Amino acid sequence: MSDAASAQATRATIGDSEFDRDSAVTRREPGVYDIDLSADWTIFNAVNGGFLLAVAARALSDALPHDDPFSITAHYLTASTPGPAVVRTSVVRTGRTLSTGQASIFQTDADGNEVERIRVLASYGDLDSLPDDVRTTAVPPSFPPLEQCFGPDDSPEPLPGASAITDRLFMKLDPATLGWALGAPSGKGEVRGYFGLADGRDADPFSLLLTVDALPPTAFDLGLTGWVPTVELTAHIRCRPAPGPLRVSITTRNLAGGFLEEDAEVWDTAGRLVAQSRQLARARLA
Amino acid sequence: MSDAASAQATRATIGDSEFDRDSAVTRREPGVYDIDLSADWTIFNAVNGGFLLAVAARALSDALPHDDPFSITAHYLTASTPGPAVVRTSVVRTGRTLSTGQASIFQTDADGNEVERIRVLASYGDLDSLPDDVRTTAVPPSFPPLEQCFGPDDSPEPLPGASAITDRLFMKLDPATLGWALGAPSGKGEVRGYFGLADGRDADPFSLLLTVDALPPTAFDLGLTGWVPTVELTAHIRCRPAPGPLRVSITTRNLAGGFLEEDAEVWDTAGRLVAQSRQLARARLA
């Protein structure tokens, strides 16, 4: 039985899944939260940036009067490692429909000093209160059927960049954007695929924050190799996603001066654009 | 003599222009800056959001060891009005190539309470230290020649949304994206045009922050009218712009649930993508 099939058989639910368990924060005092960052969400030895963003977002969801991140920005300061961390939040402004807050994730170094990992600024609202109308005709990019796409479990060898987090994810990439894995990057700066959590949990606003930073970097499709550290990532969550696998498209238009932007669009099974993100990342030029 | 011709005749320079004078902050103490927000940069009675971002960016440029905003995010909390304001900054992290800081602009209300207008989080670097290479082939959207474009001074009546700031700007819009001004919006969510400062000052990273939020909103091209308040805006400054008028394209893909994103791309006369931005704004549905 494939990983995907077994995931279907033991389908986890929102609130009761690996992702919910591992991204949960414990309130120590008002605005201050503890978490033990699991090694299960690492790429090489660093905790995945989207996962960290989800952790900060869950703390802010508790600290603010609104539950759902509408726009959330993180600046990545130092690499996070598995182990204890503290999330410190503060309320910037509360309003009727939106509230704004700030969060930082800290870890303690060998000398006992708190080191800041990421700084987050976000505005929250209530996705369920929004009208259902869609006024634009944006459509997702063309995706081949899921069964024609490839994931880490289809590869005889681990994909470049495969790491602990790979086992937590359901990811099937459009073969048209996978040439880099065979040494033939397209040069277009595009990666597309179906995405979910390996245990079958459906998407929610917090897992969307993981989703926008989980595909292999577009830099690979541009012929670059190695680490592409995120400087800053902003995600807009536009509606609560419908159940089922998401379609994710990431693109880069401008790799210049040693930096690149990476835009992600996430579409749900109902054909709605549920999240958009953009990050600025450093490129290691070959 | 047209406004544009007179601007050419008395061309201002970077450091000596209306924009430089009005966006300058005065250091009161380390990290704290004063400014008197001029009524000359207002739309209706509110200070323009891109201008405010430039003010915060100038304060951060003084407070941080690096001069140039690489990625800067603002959450807009309350409307700013002409008059005194204070910018409070703090340093989040300093590194060799990048440093990160935070800024808030406050004004004092009638009861003497400080009210926060915008909260900003940004990473700064040195644009002049970046390698010159461009690895991607992104090209600007097609623009008609400048002399076929239209600005506020070509209109027999003020354009909808014309305000004090209009006199500070040089703006010539592609007529293909101006149907809304004649009651016939295209519905595509696109506005394109040439952009500069009316006094002829060339662009720099700070004026680019004004540039990304200065065109008429895409919402007009989608058939909406009225105010489109920005919730959050993030801009990436990718290189120091060459002299001459900028080409600016703004687009919206997703107007849904009462919110829309607006993406801006700014191209310089050397054909380089010098800035990208995205904002999340509220739509007032008709």
CATH code for residues B3-127: 2.40.160.210
* Interchain CB distance below 8 Å, B92 and A75: yes
B280 contacts in chain A (CB < 8 Å): 70-71, 123, 236
A280 near B CB under 8 A: yes
Overall average pLDDT of the A194-202 stretch: 97
Chain A CB contacts of B136 below 8 Å: 189, 222, 252-256, 260
On chain A, the residues whose CB falls within 8 A of the CB of B116 are 92-93
Q: Would you say how long chain A is, in residues? A: 286
Residues of chain A contacting B130 with CB distance shorter than 8 Å: 257-259
**Dihedral sign, Cα of residue B259, residue A251, residue A160, residue A76:** negative
Residue A285: predicted pLDDT: 67
Over pLDDT 90: what percentage of chain A?
81
Contact at CB, A285 and B131, closer than 8 angstroms: yes
Per-residue pLDDT, A109: 95
Of A229, A224, A189, nearest to A213 (Cα)?
A229
Q: Which residues of A touch B258 (CB under 8 A)?
A: 130-131, 133
> Residues of B with CB below 8 A from A257's CB?
127, 130-134, 238-239
State yes or no: pLDDT of B41 exceeds 90.
yes
**Banded pLDDT at B44 (limits 50, 70, 90):** confident
Query: What is the tens place of the pLDDT at every residue in B194-250?
Result: 999 999 999 999 999 999 999 999 999 999 988 899 999 999 999 999 999 999 999
Residue B97 has pLDDT above 60, yes or no: yes
Model confidence at A7: pLDDT above 90:
no
How many CA atoms does the CB half-sphere of B200 hold within 13 Å? 11
The three-state secondary structure class of B117 is: strand
**What confidence tens digit (pLDDT) does each residue in A106-134 have?**
999 999 999 999 999 999 999 999 988 87
Contact A73, A121 (CB under 8 A): yes
DSSP annotation string for A124-154: EE-GGGS---B-----PPP---GGG-B-GGG
Helix (H) or strand (E) holding A163: none
- Rounded to 5 degrees, what angle do the CA atoms A254, B264, A226 make? 25
| Pairwise CA distance, residues A44 & A107, whole Å | 18
Q: How confident is the model at residue A242 (pLDDT cuts 50, 70, 90)?
A: very high
B276 CB within 8 Å of a chain A CB: yes
Contact across the interface for A138 and B254, Cβ inside 8 Å: yes
Q: Do B135 and A258 touch (CB under 8 A)?
A: no
Which DSSP category does A200 fall into? -
Banded pLDDT at B159 (limits 50, 70, 90): low
Does residue B160 surpass a pLDDT of 80? Answer: no
Give Cα A186 to chain centroid, integer Å: 24
Per-residue pLDDT for B1 more than 50? no
- Tell me if B256 and A276 make a contact (CB, 8 A cut-off): no
Q: How far is B285 from chain A (nearest CA, A)?
A: 10
User: A-B interface: how many C-beta pairs under 8 angstroms?
Assistant: 162
**Residue B231 C-alpha, separation from nearest chain A C-alpha, in angstroms:** 8
Beta pairing class for B32-37 and B83-94: antiparallel
Picking from A106, A114, A76, A100, the residue whose alpha carbon sits closest to that of residue A88 is A106
Query: Residue A24, CB half-sphere, CA atoms under 13 Å: how many?
Result: 9
pLDDT in tens, B250-285: 999 999 999 999 999 999 999 999 999 999 999 976
Q: How far apart are the first and last CA of chain A?
A: 40
Of 2.40.160.210, 3.40.50.150, 3.90.550.10, 2.60.130.10, the CATH number of B146-282 is: 2.40.160.210
Q: Is B270 on the interface with A (CB under 8 A)?
A: no
What tens digit of pLDDT does each residue of B129-157 get? Answer: 998 887 777 888 899 999 999 988 787 66
Q: Are A21 and A199 in contact (CB under 8 A)?
A: no
Contact A73 B73 (CB under 8 A): yes
Is residue A270 within 8 angstroms of chain B, CB to CB?
A: no
Residue B231 sits at the chain A interface (C-beta within 8 Å): yes
C-alpha span between B204 and B125 (Å, rounded): 14
Q: Does the pLDDT at position B11 exceed 60?
A: yes
Measure A136 CA to nearest chain B CA, in Å. 6
Set of chain B residues whose Cβ sits within 8 Å of the Cβ of A253? 136, 138, 273, 276
Do the two domains A3-127 and A146-282 of this chain adopt the same fold?
yes
Confidence label for A1 from pLDDT (cuts 50, 70 and 90):
very low
Q: Does B128 touch chain A (CB under 8 A)?
A: no
- For tokens 């500070």, what's the residue? B168
Would you state the pLDDT for residue B226? 80
Q: In angstroms, rounded to a whole number, what is the distance separating the alpha carbons of residues B125 and B98?
A: 5
The amino acid at A73: T
Q: Report yes or no: A188 and A221 within 8 Å, Cβ to Cβ.
A: yes
Whether B73 sits inside 8 A of A232 (CB atoms) is: yes
Q: Nearest Cα to A3, choosing from A191, A144, A155?
A: A155
Q: Is the pLDDT reported for residue B4 higher than 80?
A: no
Domain boundaries, chain A: 3-127, 146-282
Q: Are B82 and B37 in contact (CB under 8 A)?
A: yes
Contacts of B93 in chain A (CB under 8 A): 77-78, 116
